[in-house]
């Protein structure tokens, strides 16, 4: 079954939304992913009716039968996308069709139903129609939307579920890293892979993140804030960090990033940064990069800047890379010039301070 007509939403307003003063106190120091708005979106799917029962309802716990298949077999996918408050008070998002299409690819890989891309964007609009007041306006703040989908059939047979639920929650947010936009140290995992050939690395599914948490814990223990993974076959080539892509700037000014290998998440920030760099006439190369090339290049100065990019991370300079028995770079290394200027151009487009030459922005509120 597929849906022919757009979904009609039922809207149930919260009877106890956060008082304005409490909300404003949260918006003043939102952190990342700690606070949630008064409402959420829920849409149900089953094989007979396809997508149905779309609603905006008060934010609150989900009630799940203990046999619900997501709890046993991990059939879950998610997205991360932000809303940006512009100077005129309107709220805009960035390339929602790209996130909607990626969620469809993730759904396909996890044998979940595909939500139409237009419904993905509409779900963000529906939430903003009731929770617009929750979008912060201070510099470097945004609304982080977390759309996600779970298999919701209560059944223990191992097969794709016949029922699924899609939700959107929203969290007013500041910078992802505790130290703001400051350069970070990253830890090379030599023991663990994030994803494998033919696996789910290119899908945004919870299981990939579960697999990254033990090495991420190691990274924290080494004073690093993210873990860097290599390819699982040769354990040689850079893939990505636990929750962001990686880019290198060479002394000749070129921007180099690992080619999409099938096990790397196709980051929308990555793709956008590469586009902005190409627009400037910068040479952009997507290819395999051996870790040794990174290590030697940073030591010799052949690689002048390294940065991470993603929706949560935006563009975050990498100061130092550590691994068992070695480190390159310095924890106090300053942010790279190209890193920061691409970051500024991207965020200026997102916050409406610059024109949007690629038509990336979509208005969420007022709808």
* 100 lines the binding site for ligand PLP (CB under 6 A): no
CA–CA distance, 331 with 342 (Å, rounded to integer) = 22
Taking the complex as a whole, how short is the minimal distance between the CB of residue 332 and ligand PLP, in angstroms?
Answer: 26
Phi, psi of 225 (to 5 degrees): -105, -5
Structure tokens at 65: 């039968």
93 binds, among ligand PLP, ligand COI, none (CB under 5 to 8 A by kind): none
Taking the complex as a whole, how short is the minimal distance between the CB of residue 364 and ligand PLP, in angstroms?
Answer: 17
For residue 87, CA distances in Å to 84, 128, 293, 347 come to 10, 17, 44, 14
Q: Please tell me whether residue 218 adopts helix, strand or coil conformation.
A: helix
**Within positions 263 to 302, which residues make up the interface with ligand PLP, using CB under 6 A?**
265, 267-270
**Shorter beta-carbon distance to ligand PLP: residue 82 or 295:** 82
**Within positions 134 to 193, which residues make up the interface with ligand PLP, using CB under 6 A?**
none
**Shorter beta-carbon distance to ligand COI: residue 80 or 297:** 80
**Within positions 308 to 367, which residues make up the interface with ligand COI, using CB under 6 A?**
310-312
CA–CA distance, 146 with 274 (Å, rounded to integer) = 24
**Shorter beta-carbon distance to ligand COI: residue 75 or 311:** 311
DSSP string, 55-105: EEEE--PPP--TTBTHHHH--EEE--EEEEE-TTS-EEEE-HHHHHHHHHH
Residue 42's closest CA among 31, 29, 55, 30? 55
**Shorter beta-carbon distance to ligand COI: residue 136 or 243:** 243
245 binds, among ligand PLP, ligand COI, none (CB under 5 to 8 A by kind): ligand PLP
Q: State the Cα angle at 303 between 182 and 181, rounded to 5°.
A: 10
Strand partners, 45: 51, 164
**Shorter beta-carbon distance to ligand PLP: residue 141 or 269:** 269
**Shorter beta-carbon distance to ligand COI: residue 73 or 209:** 209
Cis bond before residue 178 (omega within 30° of 0): no
* 107 lines the binding site for ligand PLP (CB under 6 A): no
267 binds, among ligand COI, ligand PLP, none (CB under 5 to 8 A by kind): ligand PLP
**Shorter beta-carbon distance to ligand PLP: residue 125 or 270:** 270
CA–CA distance, 269 with 216 (Å, rounded to integer) = 22
| Interface segment toward ligand PLP; rule CB under 6 A; list 169-177, 241-249, 289-297, 329-337 | 241-249
Phi, psi of 220 (to 5 degrees): -60, -45
CA–CA distance, 209 with 195 (Å, rounded to integer) = 10
Output the residue with the shortest Cβ distance to ligand COI: 80
Count interface residues toward ligand COI (CB under 6 A).
5
Structure tokens at 128: 């903003």
* 310 lines the binding site for ligand PLP (CB under 6 A): yes
Burial class (CB in 10 A: 0-12, 13-18, 19+), 16: exposed
Draw the binding track, 235-264, toward ligand COI (x: CB under 6 A; -: no contact).
--------x---------------------
Other C-beta atoms closer than 10 Å to the C-beta of 163 total 18
Tell me which of 54, 76, 77, 80 binds ligand PLP, using CB under 6 A: 80
**Shorter beta-carbon distance to ligand COI: residue 199 or 243:** 243
Tell me which of 17, 30, 80, 174 binds ligand COI, using CB under 6 A: 80
CB–CB of 229/193 below 8 Å?
A: yes
Taking the complex as a whole, how short is the minimal distance between the CB of residue 262 and ligand PLP, in angstroms?
Answer: 14
CB–CB of 41/11 below 8 Å?
A: no
Positions touching ligand PLP (CB under 6 A) are 80, 240, 243-245, 265, 267-270, 310-311
Positions touching ligand COI (CB under 6 A) are 80, 243, 310-312
């Amino acid at each position: 079954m597929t849906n022919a007509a757009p979904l009609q939403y039922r809207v149930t307003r919260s009877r106890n939304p956060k008082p304005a003063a409490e909300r404003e106190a949260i918006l003043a120091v939102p952190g990342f992913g700690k606070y949630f708005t008064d409402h959420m979106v829920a849409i149900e799917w089953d094989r007979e009716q396809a997508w149905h029962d779309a609603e905006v309802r008060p934010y609150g716990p989900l009630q799940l039968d203990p046999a619900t298949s997501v709890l046993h077999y991990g059939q879950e996918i998610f997205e991360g996308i932000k809303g940006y408050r512009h100077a005129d008070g309107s709220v805009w998002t960035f390339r929602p069709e790209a996130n909607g299409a990626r969620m469809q690819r993730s759904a396909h890989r996890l044998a979940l139903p595909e939500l139409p891309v237009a419904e993905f964007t509409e779900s963000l609009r529906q939430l903003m129609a009731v929770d617009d007041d929750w979008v912060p306006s201070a510099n470097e703040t945004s609304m982080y939307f977390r759309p996600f989908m779970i298999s919701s059939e209560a059944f223990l047979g191992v097969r794709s579920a016949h029922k699924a639920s899609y939700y959107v929650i929203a969290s007013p947010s500041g910078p992802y890293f505790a130290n703001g936009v400051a350069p970070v140290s990253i830890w090379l995992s030599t023991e663990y892979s994030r994803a494998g050939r033919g696996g789910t690395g290119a899908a945004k599914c919870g299981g990939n993140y579960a697999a990254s948490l033990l090495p991420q814990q190691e990274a924290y223990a080494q004073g690093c804030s993210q873990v860097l993974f290599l390819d699982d076959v040769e354990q040689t080539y850079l893939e990505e960090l636990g929750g962001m892509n990686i880019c290198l700037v060479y002394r000749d000014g070129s921007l180099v990033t690992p080619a999409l290998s099938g096990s790397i998440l196709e980051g929308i920030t990555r793709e956008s940064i590469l586009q902005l760099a190409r627009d400037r006439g910068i040479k952009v190369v997507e290819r395999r990069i051996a870790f040794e090339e990174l290590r030697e290049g940073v030591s010799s100065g052949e690689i002048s800047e390294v940065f991470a990019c993603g929706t949560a991370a935006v563009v975050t300079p990498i100061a130092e890379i550590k691994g068992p028995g070695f480190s390159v770079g310095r924890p106090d290394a300053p942010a790279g010039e190209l890193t920061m200027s691409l970051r500024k151009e991207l965020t200026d487009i997102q916050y409406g301070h610059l024109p949007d030459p690629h038509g990336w922005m979509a208005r969420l509120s007022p709808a």
